[in-house]
Structure 1
């Protein structure tokens, strides 16, 4: 590791990391979900080890079934994923007491300090974790590449060092040790790598109308890493939730001490949970634009929280979610921890999965080069997060080559289009004018274009298109994609080109050959020959095709599989979730086949009781925030019974119950047991029934839905809030059973 990037095997390494809470997900489904993560371009899995899940009762440790940390790590290794273990002891993760067991909170000690009484309780817990990790650390050939100590501890560097030393004494070890750096955290120098975050929304903010002020900074390029609003609701000092620093990341102060470390992230928002008082919708482009800005700002480690949603456990002694009842500032759902993540609470593929995968495909090809590049800001870069008029752009470069980054998107506050745009960039000893003619950057556009990128024996001066990947083979294929609907042009160094074949118009422009009049798609293929006799093909995709593309080794060759249904490679097989047709490049010698679907069907609904009037708001005295309903409040709910026939299930495939409803809080019970809940925030509520199959077939499912009052002091996205009438509302419009089919396809070897 140096100040710019991480290294692995002596070469620059750009990790893509996604958070997945194994202990909040059925163990029988771990492998399937890990394969989905890998297919999305994730190479490293981050996972909390929640103390209160594994030792809810003091001295009784649970390490089997859904709690089997060792088995989870082994599965990660088997499917080719590295792991960052977040050992705490305090973890947060919207868990009760941040993951501390109740018995620890009642103990005579000062948690999260060097109090010997506290450390004496931590040691046996760490010894248990160490035993689970034995033989699975990197030194033993296992998947663990890093360990994170504590979380959001900002003012005790000595304690972080104590926790690290204690962990090592207990057999926990890794090449990298990390700690969260936000909130101007004081960390022990040289002992841990500071890791950072950034969210497009903040469920920990207040219920004020509008967008959290600090989130704006994440849509401006700049070297700043800290977001001191993360965890501010749990800190005694620092920026309060919703309080703006008034500056974009480019002007963030007090970070000089970070110059010795590469810019690494562990909590780029993969979505956002819903707290009772704040329930925002997070769109796919909000997440992807933020991730692109972090790449343009110097990130050399993209880490997402959450990448995969989950369900909170219900313990033997209590529920295990963060709540006002435990002195925390946010009331969270008892079960739901979907997070609007790229992969949902039941493994659903979200639109953000495709948008982030497109970036990850590029990083798998160019990430090592990008990691070595520095940020170069234009002289006229915006200096205030209130600036919505200036075009936001930056360059990352090593002096010879680089990438041009542009962002014209942010949530809530629409940015204007910019006409007559052309970028002047000095790189490799000359000025590049990109593109050849001025273009209009539309509102919502964001992208990265290559500068002076090698193309076999040819030099690609620039392209007004984004790199997707390079397909390996005797004649490599550079895959590009159109961005923001802009015309695609390629400028090649004329001295390094002997011929270009394909559907393009070529024109000499100074020392370059500019290729234009390109119509992106799977048939837009160029062949570029260099003076040294090498040839490289260039495939230029349209945006929708690129979003549907998966890179896979099929029939003995590196290929792109394009499908509107999700496709997950698994060894020599492709698992297709749905029945959309597959297109493959390069084409296969024999057809690959297609997936299948089963039609959705309405669930049989029996209405048992009408809801009473909306519940009067309850305000938590400590925070001034609205509190969630308690069990007794659901006696006043609308009650529905849903019958689920056995024939709705097929083998071990998922069956989603999709509920189109409006109201305040919904709960779902099977035989009297709470299995799912939702704070209503607009989108359809989905419940995966596979894990409850036998019970739900026998007993059906009971829904209890509370009405939302018109004066409820909760934040809803504006497009949702306008649907709440003057008398409040609760309505179940439809309940549909949607089978999630899985088809395994195998291609014969060519």
Structure 2
């Protein structure tokens, strides 16, 4: 008999009434057998480590040590970040549920001029990979030579672009590429999977769809040969598969992506519903992903569909800033894509970007960013590569991360069985991505087990409440109908529900809550953590009946025993879920609830947040004898609460208006996109400027200090003297800059310039953030606020005192 166990201070089990409305039965037949996956088609590198671990690929999924594996991959560009931050930031990615870190090697960051290739400092690829390994991450290195990544000439140095044909088998070009690849190979020597290292794959080129002599399949084949010559023997060789990709089938496997909007588009209005939010049953390519070359007809990825697994590399965890189109996505705009991608068959959830960064400044201050001035299709900031990423350029935790983490933890603990499941199509599906009325859902199943995926969110388009819904899924062993009574699925809802999930030997027929994590809680037994679906009662269909749990606060339900040990279901509230981090601490997997960042380093639990606020965390199961200077502990039911009092006030920042804005020149249109062009350098003479005097000392005990700027205008630029530190296209998002990395003098005065935004500028800004111009007002350049936010970090040890 199921029974309740206490977790926190007050826990209750309640029966919630079913939603009113007509019974809309959504049907899906998942009884058809599926052929076994095929092997041997892809020509892979060495798949076995010296320790005997294996990494392989079949036609449907990845296998790690012979078992299906569905990892999460996040992009973080080492050469766009200070090397001093790499260790912490990689560990923060690991704590967020990332399994693999991916990074471009931007050729022009390493060899801006002819001569030696620079692998020092922020360009030290080898050290970055070593730190990733220490953090417990695998690595995919995106070799280029053309990367895109909003980089100047796609990352190919000017001296190469000026002198010879690129992106083809031109002999002179390929000789330079061979030297680049040889340098990468030397950096990664001993760090490949075959050596027991973390590098499991390399990507060759990017967004490649060029055909003709010396191009197409022949060029990708030649690049792979150069990678092998450089010693890059790895289990995975990938290429991007969208926009008519051209590659030699069997030599590489395509990876895919999708974004919640198109900042590279030329439209100055909202876009039609993106197909990124619609389940795909016939194709893996999700619309326009911004490739700068065009192809006609289907690419190799379309004809390869039944030969290779559905792997992702560029599902947008944010969006880049483009001058003409400044989209600002919400956390739900991003997170709602996840059930759609997984429910469409994705077996590697790869994000671009997961961590923001900043472009290095080139020789003589020249920008290395993509711009129309250098022939690029887009104008992007000279320095900022924030990307609205879950982790900002200085490691800031954004709200979207709280929505993504539960999905990552789900894949960590339940992704193996999911990887082997195949996509099943409902009886009725939307006629097109623009059809917002028909319910959007799918099932992935293998035999009688499966997961149900649902999405009722589309960016900038209101979705209807799906009234009185029940699902009927026919499986080989019988039909599962859920929930027990019809429910109204709210507008904006998205979720993953299990079907016939094995909870350590206890069968769960279905749940109307999402699995999140599994952990061994010692004397309490095995705990399976679930997330509620907002607006829908959490039902758990067990052998002795359906149990309905309230999501008002954390509750634990005992559902049976496995090998004499209790098996429990823990249902979190939405608020608790947003604070949840699942970490390996003190020798076991634990739940850590905190609004601040939490991770493990140096054998200690680390917390980081504003020094002006208390740092708090709740841990389950409790840590043995936690200790740290200033640590306050108390037990709250099964939760161990840890707290550090605030230890600093906000540093003072003296802000002085230095120069009023002049009349900005008109925004011109043109360039390859025929759209709004970033202003010429001379235009910044009309910018309003403010001086920002830092205190002396800045904040001596702080790990870092974020300068937060709230401005309204066109482009903001931050200077220390004549050195530009960062820049920003206004989009309504607060601009933050970590100051420690710049080695500023105590009491130094910085300068902020804001180019006026013109009322008639042909620039897209989301309606919620576009300035409201008064009648007769032609431009705006305002600084609404500037403050300094000190960050502190504490480390908690455990065990013997």
The corresponding residue for 2:277 is 218
The corresponding residue for 2:446 is 398
SS for the counterpart of 1:365 is: helix
Map 1:661-740 → 2, pairs under 5 A? 661-695=711-745, 697-725=746-774, 726-740=777-791
Q: CA deviation at 1:571?
A: 5.2
Which shifted more, 120-129 or 646-655?
646-655
SS for the counterpart of 1:521 is: coil
Q: CA deviation at 1:218?
A: 3.3
Map 1:125-164 → 2, pairs under 5 A? 125-155=180-210, 156-164=216-224
Q: CA deviation at 1:553?
A: 3.2
- The answer to whether the 8 Å contact 2:245/2:301 transfers is no
SS for the counterpart of 1:452 is: strand
Q: CA deviation at 1:238?
A: 5.3
SS for the counterpart of 1:545 is: helix
- The answer to whether the 8 Å contact 2:245/2:300 transfers is no
SS for the counterpart of 2:306 is: helix
The corresponding residue for 1:35 is 91
CA gap 1:652/1:170 in 2 versus in 1, 3 angstroms = farther
The corresponding residue for 1:196 is 256
The corresponding residue for 2:323 is 276
Q: In structure 1, which of residues 509, 514, 521 is the aligned counterpart of residue 546 of structure 2?
A: 514
Map 1:537-576 → 2, pairs under 5 A? 537-570=568-601, 572-576=603-607
Give the whole-Å Cα distance in 1 for the aligned partners of 2:738 and 2:773.
27
- The answer to whether the 8 Å contact 1:602/1:735 transfers is no
Give the whole-Å Cα distance in 2 for the aligned partners of 1:180 and 1:724.
43
- The answer to whether the 8 Å contact 2:456/2:463 transfers is yes
- The answer to whether the 8 Å contact 2:702/2:791 transfers is no
Give the whole-Å Cα distance in 1 for the aligned partners of 2:296 and 2:739.
43
- The answer to whether the 8 Å contact 1:373/1:397 transfers is yes
Give the whole-Å Cα distance in 2 for the aligned partners of 1:609 and 1:449.
58
Q: CA deviation at 1:120?
A: 1.4
CA gap 1:476/1:94 in 2 versus in 1, 3 angstroms = same
Give the whole-Å Cα distance in 1 for the aligned partners of 2:181 and 2:385.
26
Please give the per-residue CA displacement for 1:512-567, whole angstroms capped at 9, x wherever unaligned. Answer: x1112534533x11112259755301111112211211112334443211112221
The corresponding residue for 1:744 is 795
CA gap 1:531/1:11 in 2 versus in 1, 3 angstroms = closer
SS for the counterpart of 1:359 is: helix
Give the whole-Å Cα distance in 2 for the aligned partners of 1:553 and 1:228.
38
Map 1:127-526 → 2, pairs under 5 A? 127-155=182-210, 156-211=216-271, 215-232=274-291, 234-237=292-295, 255-317=302-364, 318-474=366-522, 475-494=525-544, 513-522=545-554, 524-526=555-557
- The answer to whether the 8 Å contact 2:254/2:301 transfers is no
Q: In structure 1, which of residues 578, 582, 594 is the aligned counterpart of residue 617 of structure 2?
A: 582
Which shifted more, 263-272 or 382-391?
382-391
Give the whole-Å Cα distance in 1 for the aligned partners of 2:502 and 2:592.
25
The corresponding residue for 1:2 is 58
CA gap 1:42/1:749 in 2 versus in 1, 3 angstroms = farther
- Cα root mean square deviation, aligned: 2.0
TM-score where L is the length of structure 2: 0.86
Structure 1: 5+ residue stretches without partners? 240-244, 246-251, 495-512
The corresponding residue for 1:248 is none
SS for the counterpart of 1:678 is: strand
Please give the per-residue CA displacement for 1:689-718, whole angstroms capped at 9, x wherever unaligned. Answer: 1112424x3532101111111100100001
CA gap 1:460/1:622 in 2 versus in 1, 3 angstroms = closer
Map 1:9-24 → 2, pairs under 5 A? 9-24=65-80
CA gap 1:532/1:651 in 2 versus in 1, 3 angstroms = closer
CA gap 1:724/1:84 in 2 versus in 1, 3 angstroms = farther
CA gap 1:473/1:582 in 2 versus in 1, 3 angstroms = closer
Give the whole-Å Cα distance in 2 for the aligned partners of 1:648 and 1:571.
27
SS for the counterpart of 1:270 is: coil
- The answer to whether the 8 Å contact 2:711/2:784 transfers is yes
SS for the counterpart of 2:569 is: strand
The corresponding residue for 2:706 is 656
Structure 2: 5+ residue stretches without partners? 1-56, 211-215, 626-632, 634-640
The corresponding residue for 1:535 is 566
Give the whole-Å Cα distance in 2 for the aligned partners of 1:724 and 1:712.
12
- The answer to whether the 8 Å contact 2:687/2:754 transfers is yes
The corresponding residue for 1:498 is none
Q: In structure 1, which of residues 640, 646, 657 is the aligned counterpart of residue 696 of structure 2?
A: 646
The corresponding residue for 1:605 is 655
Which shifted more, 582-591 or 607-616?
582-591
Which shifted more, 421-430 or 340-349?
421-430
Give the whole-Å Cα distance in 2 for the aligned partners of 1:177 and 1:631.
42
TM-score where L is the length of structure 1: 0.92
SS for the counterpart of 2:305 is: helix
Which shifted more, 484-493 or 39-48?
484-493
Give the whole-Å Cα distance in 2 for the aligned partners of 1:254 and 1:563.
42
CA gap 1:253/1:74 in 2 versus in 1, 3 angstroms = closer
Between 1 and 2, higher relative CO (CA 8 Å, sep ≥ 6) is seen in 2
Give the whole-Å Cα distance in 2 for the aligned partners of 1:734 and 1:533.
60
Which shifted more, 592-601 or 443-452?
592-601
Q: CA deviation at 1:172?
A: 2.0
The corresponding residue for 2:52 is none
The corresponding residue for 2:54 is none
Which shifted more, 75-84 or 579-588?
579-588
CA gap 1:745/1:428 in 2 versus in 1, 3 angstroms = farther
Please give the per-residue CA displacement for 1:236-273, whole angstroms capped at 9, x wherever unaligned. Answer: 3459xxxxx9xxxxxx9983421111110100001001
Q: In structure 2, which of residues 144, 153, 169 is the aligned counterpart of residue 88 of structure 1?
A: 144
Give the whole-Å Cα distance in 2 for the aligned partners of 1:253 and 1:446.
32
SS for the counterpart of 2:255 is: strand
Task: State the aligned residue count.
Answer: 716
